[in-house]
Structure 1
């Protein structure tokens, strides 16, 4: 198997120094999303039509990154305890590591880049982001002239949409185009004074100490990428709308969510009386339903509410897919601005009690499903002028857990989606043979994802 050789590491700081001291507060939503691990991803670009020396490409990339960090100076900082002891971002211009690497591998070594066997090497090998840069970047030149641009994000400071906007802005600055500057206003997710909770809070849990614990891994996890074409999505939506539990017009998000939840639940062969939870994101950006005026699309930070919808496994398994779709559709309709504000206030109450809080989902028990949707992110607008971006992927990590699904856009656009899934091997085999999966999707990549050490993996929040 081909390998990746690290050439050098540059530390890139903002082109214009950030006035000091500069500290940025983190919202309760940021603290909720806080993780000890990096989330890694990779953009793949075809060889440039007008090739230039790799060293020149890197030099220009460094300059444009420094200019971008002038706007996104939070990424050049470090998460540290503020004077009140709470986590904040010290915007001290400590910088972003830019790793430069090369490989003899070619894009056409694989039938699909979904199968790229060196994906783990296209990013920093650091897994823990505590006391580390909030973002790390790697550019890798392939033997065919193609370029992979990888990123590793500490989600304490920003969500996936924010980092996608950062890469999009960077690519525009790289080409000399204007950008919309990010908005740093964590107070948009500030608790009321006094905080008050007016709805039952099912989506989160609190305890004196929450954290990851090491548990034995009973089986190897596999990552699989399935594709839903635009025509397949149309057919799936029609299946939901025409089903016995149809509720009128179904969105592609609801229809695909129902397929994921039902198919994974059936593949797990859960007892009928077991409770399964479907965790899905609700973006607070650009929606007057949650805030008026709405949170701007340029908001930098975490602006996602993760809803956790419970149901009996037997009901999900035995009923038509439209049943699960209707549950999700109705649940989304219940989420209001007051619901999200109550969630923020609930977090504040727990924080004042000295408690930690986390999502009410078990990533490793083999019952719940954690779905993250990224199909609306500006991922394929990230154009550095090298060549067409042909692929984007999330790098599988052991902490993704059992039953994690990432809904991604594709280079084709439209309603076509890729879904990256992670679950134990036996469950994955049954999932891929599921009638709904074979009817509405096509299967591509198939890789194992093992832990940081043999026989171990990182456990869930408890």
Structure 2
């Protein structure tokens, strides 16, 4: 049970630039809802001093919003389902909350309903120009532990930008000043497509409709199925065992650009994909895809500035596979399909995708359904028979220290679609991983059984 104590609006501590900020096609591609994140901190003497803790966070946030002034603005709808940002310093929202529970009562912090209560709620029924782009809920537990739950508009930032902001805020909260190379870069026009727009140079399958279950003409029935969440823990030894299996039996039925060993992400995502398909027990001819978001800063030529603040991500997708191939062929088959999807995203392909988005009269159909399902119906549901597997492995969330130590857990505060997963580094920072997954309840027990059994005994892996 969460009790809200207070709500405050935090504006930048100094005057900031005003006016309209153009949003890139990558920004427009993202959902306009907020990405929920929880950072859990253990009991310390400092965070028991509730007044000092909350005031420090508010004051430091006010100062951090000066260089990060777009987060204090408001979005406005314009033509074709697009958005623009009004930099008007209306501020972020900070909520103070208290729970009689202890951190131990929350278990492993899987994004259940109890965890969702730790993330501030946005009133999506109100006009978009009234929505804060950043909301923070500081929840204090009876044991002295803290949760800093945040909701940041996904139109404003991708994972890297969000992580840079939270680490900058934490640095200011510790009493330090941001250095010049830590100041964000806000000119998103560097991603603007030149005029006149060039026609797409590739077959952008990431914008095509996902496969449906055989025998279905839409996903309405599937969307109604009950689902649940779990948090999977994979040790460093298990990760290495899977990587070895993926790389010792190469599968060459792919047009891979490179032959480097499969990464942790490619390996674990392939294992997840095949185990989900195995648990769903579909027709062996059932088509399926994996979707993910790819951060493209280093892939552009020239790359954007190091501290570019915004979305520099695009969705990529595997080609259609069938259940039978994923289950019968070695682990490298799925890893190879993921590799193809990732290596497809060259500078030329990315710019072609941005041109494609820019050419659309209405961008709403292009927005990823995985960020909006909890709030509205979506025609492009990506669940069964498909999978979304996000990668947070390299995001520096465990450096977010507001002055009472580093978090003991960082993860999504909401996981809202069947077949949606995030692969994350574990708090131990020892090469082990944590995976947050939502799956239809009917399949979860079978999936977990296959997931761990197949790490050790998987056939053909």
Q: Normalising by structure 2, what TM-score? A: 0.85
Work out the CA distance in 1 between the residues paired with 2:72 and 2:188.
18
Q: 1:360 to 1:14 in 2, by over 3 A?
A: closer
Specify the alignment match of 1:192 in structure 2.
194
Q: Cα offset for 1:365?
A: 4.9
Partner of 1:55: 51
Equivalent in 420, 431, 434 of residue 404 of structure 1: 420
- Judged with a 3 Å threshold, the aligned counterparts in structure 2 of structure 1 residues 205 and 91 are, in CA distance, closer, same or farther, namely farther
Please tell me whether residue 70 in structure 1 is matched to residue 66 in structure 2: yes
Unpaired stretches in structure 1, ≥5 consecutive residues: 207-212, 442-462
Shift of 1:177: 2.3
Q: Secondary structure at the match of 2:338?
A: helix
Contact between 2:111 and 2:412, CA under 8 Å: does it hold in 1? no
Q: Describe the superposition over 1:380-424 as per-residue Cα deviations: whole angstroms up to 9, x where unpaired.
A: 000011134101121234xx3220011122211142211100111
Instruction: From the superposition, tell whether residues 192 and 75 of structure 1 become closer, same or farther in structure 2 (CA, over 3 Å).
Output: same
Indicate how the Cα distance of structure 1 residues 311 and 215 shifts in structure 2: closer, same or farther if over 3 A, else same: closer
- Kept after mapping to 1: 8 A contact 2:110/2:436: no
Q: Report the 3-state secondary structure (helix = DSSP H, G, I; strand = E; otherwise coil) of the residue aligned with 1:344.
A: helix
Alpha-carbon offset, residue 253 of structure 1: 1.2
* SS at structure 2 position matched to 1:152: strand
User: CA RMSD for the aligned pairs?
Assistant: 2.6
Which of the residues 322, 330, 335 maps onto 1:325? Answer: 335
2:20 paired with 1:23: yes
CA apart distance, 1:292: 2.4
Q: How does 1:18-417 map to 2 (within 5 A)?
A: 18-20=16-18, 22-35=19-32, 37-50=33-46, 53-81=49-77, 86-114=82-110, 118-126=114-122, 128=124, 130-131=128-129, 132-179=131-178, 180-196=182-198, 197-205=200-208, 218-245=224-251, 249-285=261-297, 287=298, 290-309=299-318, 310-351=320-361, 356-359=365-368, 362-397=380-415, 400-417=416-433
Matched-pair contact (CA < 8 Å) for 1:49–1:387: no
Q: Does structure 1 conserve the Cα–Cα contact (< 8 Å) formed by 2:111 and 2:413? A: no
| 1:139–1:150 Cα contact (<8 Å) kept | yes
Contact conserved, 1:5 with 1:102, CA < 8 A, in 2? yes
User: 1:118-171, CA deviations, whole angstroms, 9 ceiling, x for partnerless residues?
Assistant: 312212233638341111101011111111000012211212222221111100
Matched residue SS, 2:4: strand
Aligned residues: 424
Deviation at 1:326, TM superposition (A): 1.6
Pair 1:360–1:181, CA change in 2 (3 A): same
The gaps in structure 2 that reach 5 residues or longer are: 210-218, 253-258, 371-379, 457-461
Q: TM-score by structure 1 length?
A: 0.85
* C-alpha contact (below 8 Å) 1:203/1:359 kept by paired residues: no
* Larger fraction in strand: 1
Give me the whole-angstrom Cα distance separating, in 2, the residues matched to 1:15 and 1:379. 25
